[in-house]
Amino acid sequence: MQKFTIHKGLVAPMDRENVDTDAIIPKQFLKSIRKTGFGQNLFDEWRYLDPGYPGQDPASRKPNPDFVLNQPRFRGASILLARRNFGCGSSREHAPWALVQYGFRALIAPSFADIFFNNSFKNGLLPIVLPEATVARLFDEVRAFPGYELTVDLDRQVITTPGGEAIAFDVQPFRKYCLLNGFDDIGLTLRQSDKIKAFEAQRLAAKPWLAHTLQG
How many Cβ atoms from other residues are within 10 Å of residue 18's Cβ? 13
What share of the chain in percent tops pLDDT 70? 95
- Whether 194 maps to a domain, the answer reads yes
Write down the pLDDT at residue 198. Answer: 76
- Whether 42 maps to a domain, the answer reads yes
- Whether 80 maps to a domain, the answer reads yes
Tally of structural domains, the chain: 1
Write down the pLDDT at residue 114. Answer: 96
Looking up residue 97, the CATH number of its domain turns out to be 3.20.19.10
Write down the pLDDT at residue 192. Answer: 65
Write down the pLDDT at residue 34. Answer: 81
Query: Residue 190 is which amino acid?
Result: L
- Whether 216 maps to a domain, the answer reads no
Write down the pLDDT at residue 213. Answer: 55
Nearest to 89 by CA among 121, 112, 109, 123: 112
Q: How would you classify the pairing of strands 106-109 and 166-168?
A: unpaired
Q: Which value, to the nearest 10 degrees, does the dihedral of the CA atoms of residues 34, 39, 42, 44 take?
A: -80
- Whether 109 maps to a domain, the answer reads yes
**CA-angle at 42, arms to 36 and 45, nearest 5°:** 135
- Whether 32 maps to a domain, the answer reads yes
**First-to-last C-alpha distance (Å) of the chain:** 39
Write down the pLDDT at residue 216. Answer: 43
Write down the pLDDT at residue 190. Answer: 65
Question: How confident is the chain (216 residues) per 10-residue block, as mean pLDDT?
Answer: 96 97 95 86 96 90 96 97 96 94 98 97 97 98 97 98 97 96 76 74 78 56
Write down the pLDDT at residue 214. Answer: 47
- Whether 177 maps to a domain, the answer reads yes
- Whether 51 maps to a domain, the answer reads yes
Task: Give the burial class of 25: count Cβ atoms within 10 A of its Cβ; 0-12 exposed, 13-18 middle, 19 or more buried.
Answer: buried
Q: What domain range is 125 assigned to?
A: 6-211
Write down the pLDDT at residue 191. Answer: 67
